[in-house]
Amino acid sequence: MAQHGPRLVVPIDVTKKPREQKLPLHNRWHPDIPPVAEVRVGEVFRVEMVDFSGGGITKEYTAEDIKFSDQFVVHYLSGPIRVVDEDGPAKPGDLLAVEICNLGALPGDEWGFTAIFDRENGGGFLTDHFPCATKAIWYFEGIYAYSPHIPGVRFPGLTHPGIIGTAPSMELLNIWNERERELEENGLKSLKLCEVLHSRPLANLPSTKGCLLGKIEEGSREWEKMANEAARTIPGRENGGNCDIKNLSRGSKIYLPVFVEGANFSTGDMHFSQGDGEVSFCGAIEMSGFLELKCEIIRGGMKEYLTPMGPTPLHVNPIFEIGPVEPRFSEWLVFEGISVDESGRQHYLDASVAYKRAVLNAIDYLSKFGYSKEQVYLLLSCCPCEGRISGIVDAPNAVATLAIPTAIFDQDIRPKANKLPIGPRVVRNPDIPRCTYDGNLPITKNLSATGS
């Protein structure tokens, strides 16, 4: 009988650690990580994945696991998966079209978490304002999520993989490592942006610590060589990777450049829901999950469709086709930010500073309705809010906006002529899992802000 339904090519057992899975996982990009499965174009296949931490973050109501986790040993990916058609494997210069047919949480594991990393452990977009490790647990009711730690909100998730990408060639890997090493060594001397966003580190260079390379035996000579070359999975790059595009859900199609024979694509970092920017860094609703996918090889597609934006033909970026399924909201409250930082200093057309100010404006506003600022920060990281660069040409101020769907709240959050209404179920919740901050990095205080 003909097979109907997706073929399971990468199974996951959530009771086991990443190193114990039936098919080995990996948490680096390298051309020599061997594929764990092969698929043919046109077939529908299923890939399961652990959450980004590999099960290191628990659903216990404590933030201790967040504070003491090594958040730079992250993104345990399922794959690589080799793709072939009637003419053989995908080849460098092709485009790999990956269609998301279906996706969701793994049965029996329908929960997730959103967190703020400790400032000493990398923090997030607003780490200078929120230095403490904090966590919220979310439970899923079909397409909806709710959290006992952020009461009074419930919203449908636009579920998506945070990471989907192809393996780099050795030439491209060397380009990545060279440019990121130059940034790490010289960025603080040349980038004034770092003074405002307090991002650290500037880049995450290859490291053997916590390195998983799939079938390559840890500690072997081959593993040592590859681990010192392999790129971290934290940023998105020319191969796709950790782009965190929340609209890549059911029905989406991703056109990925192919750099090695077979394409060797991998995926992971499943999100039940995410706000644009994923601002708390561990900021989506992180979860285990599955993808049901179908692939097509577009021969010679890189040259045909992708124009290099850099010095080599490898400096290309994927194309994404948004699917037809997403939550519908008709009313939004929009917060604006400009490129003037909290000290009042003017920046020139800086969209990052403008977006930071838009997010801070939204946090302070929503804290008037019975929430702590940590609760709002977590909420804006994971609810289906929309971030925009609204103006990038009118010197000196870039303008960024953050739009929040009002329907996710059980109270009316719009400004009114009378006093602020506090919803019946929304009360300040002191029991949100949170740790103390014990470091000594500088903290930004907004002296004009309200609340805690």
Whether the pLDDT of residue 199 is over 80: the answer is no
- Give dist(CA 367, CA 221) in Å, integer: 54
Can you tell me which residue has the tokens 């043919």? Answer: 40
**What's the token pair of residue 319?**
């194309």
Residue 335 belongs to a domain: no
Note the pTM of the prediction, 2 decimals: 0.95
pLDDT tens, residue by residue, 68-96: 887 666 799 999 999 999 999 999 999 99
Residue, of 400 and 442, whose pLDDT is higher: 400
C-alpha distances in Å from residue 240, one per residue of 29, 358, 380: 11, 27, 24
Q: Is residue 260 part of a domain?
A: yes
Q: What is the percent of the chain with per-residue pLDDT over 70, rounded to a whole number?
A: 93
DSSP category for residue 430: T
Question: What is d(CA 358, CA 336) in angstroms, rounded to the nearest whole number?
Answer: 5
Classify residue 362: in a domain, yes or no: no
CATH of the domain at 116: 2.60.120.580
Across the range 440-448, mean pLDDT stands at 82
Number of domains in the chain: 1
Classify residue 52: in a domain, yes or no: yes
Give the H/E segment covering residue 222.
Answer: helix 221-227
Q: 44 pairs with which residues across the strands? A: 294
The Cα–Cα gap between 246 and 242 comes to 11
Rg, Å, the chain Cα set = 22
Q: What integer pLDDT is reported at residue 428 of this predicted model? A: 53
Q: Which domain holds residue 296?
A: 7-321
Q: Is 50 exceeded by the pLDDT of residue 285?
A: yes
Question: Is 67 contained in some domain?
Answer: yes
In a domain, 194, yes or no: yes
What does the pLDDT average to over 279-285?
93
Whether the per-residue pLDDT at 270 is higher than 60: the answer is yes
Please state the rounded mean pLDDT for residues 6-19: 96
What does the pLDDT average to over 203-217?
Answer: 94
Average pLDDT value over all residues in the chain: 92
Backbone angles phi, psi at 174, to 5 degrees: -65, -35
CA distances from 383 to 134, 197, 208 (A): 17, 22, 35
Per-residue pLDDT, averaged over 336-353, amounts to 95
How are beta strands 386-391 and 399-405 bridged, if at all?
Answer: antiparallel
Tokens representing 366 are 């929503």
187, 214, 215, 267, 328 from 12: Cα distances, Å: 40, 14, 16, 13, 32
Q: 103-112, 139-148, 264-273, 409-418 — which is least confidently predicted? A: 409-418
The answer on pLDDT for 109 being more than 70 is yes
**Coil, helix or strand at residue 180:** helix
For the residues 332-337, what does the mean pLDDT come to? 98
The answer, yes or no, to whether residue 9 has pLDDT greater than 90, is yes
Residue 429 has pLDDT above 80, yes or no: no
- What is the rounded (10 degree) CA torsion for 272, 277, 282, 288? 20
Q: Does 409 fall in a domain?
A: no
pLDDT of residue 190: 67
Find the helix or strand (DSSP H, E) in which 41 lies: none
Per residue in 221-262, pLDDT (tens digit) is: 999 999 999 999 999 999 999 999 999 999 999 999 999 999
Q: What's the rounded mean pLDDT across residues 392-407?
A: 97
Q: Which band of pLDDT confidence, cut at 50, 70 and 90, is reported for residue 452?
A: very low
Q: What is the mean pLDDT of residues 279-293?
A: 96
pLDDT digits (tens, 9 = 90+) for 145-171: 999 999 999 999 999 999 999 999 999
pLDDT tens-place string over residues 353-385: 999 999 999 999 999 888 999 999 999 999 999
Instruction: Work out the pLDDT band at 449, boundaries 50, 70, 90.
Output: low
Phi, psi at residue 207, to the nearest 5°?
A: -150, 145
For residue 75, is it within any domain?
yes
What pLDDT score was predicted for residue 400? 98
- 23-71 confidence digits (pLDDT tens): 999 999 999 999 999 999 999 999 999 999 999 999 999 999 999 887 6
